[in-house]
Chain A
């Protein structure tokens, strides 16, 4: 006889939650997904919102009065997070999306994997004083996760080059990519021809196409990429993967979904198991559900927030700690000839050469992206048009020529620098509340010097690229300035020991044997790749374990 409402409740309908729900429902479990946000309207409607939005932020297609109130998604560092004064303190700048499908609605779509050493930083680079104390080994290895990486690539539909990616930094692939690569852009090829093989600080540049969950052929009933170019914040045609795909699959496999239900607490029983999840609807109704197993997949800020509110899973005092991101930095230059930005996906190639090496004993590694979006972040082409008219007094064909002579040559290079884990970088509950009456997250974040050193080195590596290609009007930004990469990670770290970690190698809470936490919150360290593929791989692996646990308890 079933005492519980469901076998599994999954809190969060993002990529991690949706994949877990799908696999569990496929396995015959009765699954409920609880999602704080709303369901999106049609893609056309969201494109419509985006079209007339200013500024065109990641949240702009998803603006919706009620969900923005009741389950707010941060769209900047201060509209939802409570952070110290930006004039005196560094800020946490990455944001996320609370709605069915989660932040994958507006992700770029890049799917590189972690490298072998990323899983064992302490062993590989830990001798000597350079490595920050927070850096630890993962409790699993690259080889443990590799088959799940392949699964995740198949589930999402990843396009990549087998030839370029067969064995990067001793991290081999056991299966080919499901689809052949997204073609590098004209700009990528032009740059590659001028820098490939040239060394910077004894490391050779090598431009590779970036693997992406973006269709290069019809896949899973979704069309191939047609270069709509607004991947961030939305793919108008569904060629870019987003988790609504797996939400639909989970529902088709028999899972249930309740949207606009904001989780408020998870209750702990006397025997330390957790079975009851309480939530509040947008209408204000307070409800709860019970399940054999609870999975929290609410992304790396809402997850610790929920656990802290519930006062569970935190015997290690690490819930909310070790908050990480990648330090992102964009640099701008003008190429000597037109490279034609604003076409294709915003990025199709990158440089992986600086992600690993002995230097990681002392400073962070980083990934480089070549971008196809020109100086759009600086207001191109609008700013160029206004300037050409107002200062240049140009009109007509002369205006066109002047604007295009500039805009077609504009390049943006960017880097994504590993942030080392620091216990004092953390998510806590602030005293301020949102419209649902729940505490807003209090964030403390200062990038460690280890990462700043990496950032400044990355800057030099990028500056050197500009030199090699003869770029002018170079804007390297301020040395220690960074942007958020949108990669929120680390707040419920994985580890073998209950005293120093929140979950074990299978994402099971040390404290509560029927509580699982999935998503980027569990990353103990972050390397430099975009996290989503790793999130998906870990989620699939955790689902396998949960299925096993459910099976053995029946």
Chain B
């Protein structure tokens, strides 16, 4: 039975550096949620802090606690899908995590038109959904003149 580490304070709203274990858990969970292996640690820290200061904070806490229980198992991805994403109460927070990594934004309500909140510029330009789908973060150059004539160099993987 582990004692609560001091860094958990971040989820209780107190300022301070993220607990390294919690950050690792958040990154591990994020990798499963986004399907992307190499997520940036610094960005992870920033996103964790943003979530700590957001209305989703208690849900994030619950999610990480639940994740902690099976994070070492082989079927971790399946369990995340069933027990975290499958839980309608937790799903909005899951969505926030994914949207953060993909676009750097969080959303306010899921019914359209969705209202978004961005963090800082570095986060915006680190959004990963754009390159994943063969494009680029809007505002950043896409490459050489005329590249839009061709299908993208990094086309998204087609569904099986």
Contacts and interface: CB of A to CB of B under 8 A. Distances in A.
Contacts of A54: 105, 115-118
Interface in B31-84: 32-35, 77, 80-81
B114 A383 contact: yes
Contacts of A456: none
Contacts of A401: 156-160
Nearest to B139: A230
A228 B141 contact: yes
A184 B53 CA distance: 45
Given A383-B112, A395-B35, A403 B148 contact: no
B103 to A, nearest CB: 6
Contact of B144 (A48, A226, A228, A237): A226
A389 interface: yes
A386 to B, nearest CB: 5
Contacts of B134: 340, 343, 408
Nearest to A49: B121
Interface in A380-422: 381-383, 385-387, 389-390, 393, 395-405, 407-408
Contacts of B130: 342
B85 A389 contact: yes
Interface stretch (B4-12, B13-21, B91-99): B91-99
Nearest to A384: B129
B143 A227 contact: yes
B33 A390 contact: no
Given A382-B116, A383-B112, A386-B99, A186 B156 contact: no
Nearest to B81: A395
A245 interface: no
Contact of B110 (A230, A341, A390, A393): A390
A221 interface: no
Contact of B121 (A51, A383, A403, A405): A51
Nearest to A373: B138
Contacts of B133: 342, 381, 403-404, 407-408
B53 to A, nearest CB: 16
Interface residues of B, number: 60
B2 interface: no
Given A381-B129, A383-B112, A183 B149 contact: yes
Contacts of B81: 393, 395
A476 B127 CA distance: 31
Interface in A15-71: 47-48, 50-54
A230 B146 CA distance: 16
Interface string A496-540: 000000000000000000000000000000000000000000000
A139 interface: no
A343 B112 CA distance: 25
A289 interface: no
B110 A340 contact: no
Contact of A229 (B129, B132, B138, B152): B138
Given A229-B138, A389-B94, 16 more contacts: A51-B118, A51-B121, A52-B121, A54-B105, A54-B118, A189-B149, A224-B145, A227-B143, A342-B133, A342-B136, A343-B147, A381-B102, A382-B114, A397-B35, A403-B133, A404-B157
Interface of A: 47-48, 50-54, 183-186, 189, 216-217, 224-230, 236-237, 338, 340-345, 348, 372, 378-379, 381-383, 385-387, 389-390, 393, 395-405, 407-408
